[in-house]
């Protein structure tokens, strides 16, 4: 019995060191992979909310100022504004009729989308902004 106890006491530290050297890197790799997955999930996709809101406000000012001189420029500006409105609705989590609206229904769908964003707390015309009337 004494010889068996001595063998266990002599072999266990060496066995623990061997296990630590074999299993340690695997555990560290697994922990790093878990951290990367967790960090990747927390990163939002797409541009931040502040940039999209700033783009909506800028395009809205351009549309209201009447600055597009050609029909093509006005259509392109309206299309860009619609795209940014849809992106903003996706970020905020608001349903928008603008995403699937036909060309004839787009102005009304744009108004509905703007109203939904205002109700969600996004100020499209912030206080102190100058708008052309």
Q: What is the pLDDT of residue 112?
A: 92
pLDDT digits (tens, 9 = 90+) for 21-56: 899 888 889 989 888 888 776 556 778 889 999 999
The four Cα atoms 85, 91, 94, 95 give a dihedral, to 10 degrees, of: 70
The whole-angstrom separation of Cα 96 and Cα 100 is 8
Q: Which whole number is the average pLDDT over 54-62?
A: 92
Domain extent listing, the chain: 1-43, 49-119
Residue 69 in 3-state DSSP?
A: coil
Helical spans, DSSP H, in 43-70: 49-65
Please provide the average confidence, as pLDDT, over all residues in the chain: 85
Nearest to 44 by CA among 87, 94, 103, 95: 87
């Amino acid at each position: 019995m004494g010889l068996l106890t001595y063998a266990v006491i002599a072999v266990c530290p060496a066995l623990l060191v061997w296990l630590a050297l074999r299993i340690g890197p695997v555990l560290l790799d697994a922990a790093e992979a878990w951290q990367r997955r967790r960090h990747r999930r927390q990163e939002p996709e797409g541009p931040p909310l502040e940039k999209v809101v700033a783009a909506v406000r800028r395009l809205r000012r351009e549309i209201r100022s009447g600055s597009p001189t050609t029909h093509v420029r006005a259509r392109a500006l309206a299309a860009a504004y619609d795209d940014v409105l849809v992106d903003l609705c996706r970020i905020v989590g608001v349903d928008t009729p603008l995403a699937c609206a036909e060309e004839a229904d787009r102005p009304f769908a744009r108004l509905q989308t703007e109203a939904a964003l205002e109700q969600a707390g996004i100020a499209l015309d912030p206080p102190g902004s100058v708008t052309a009337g």
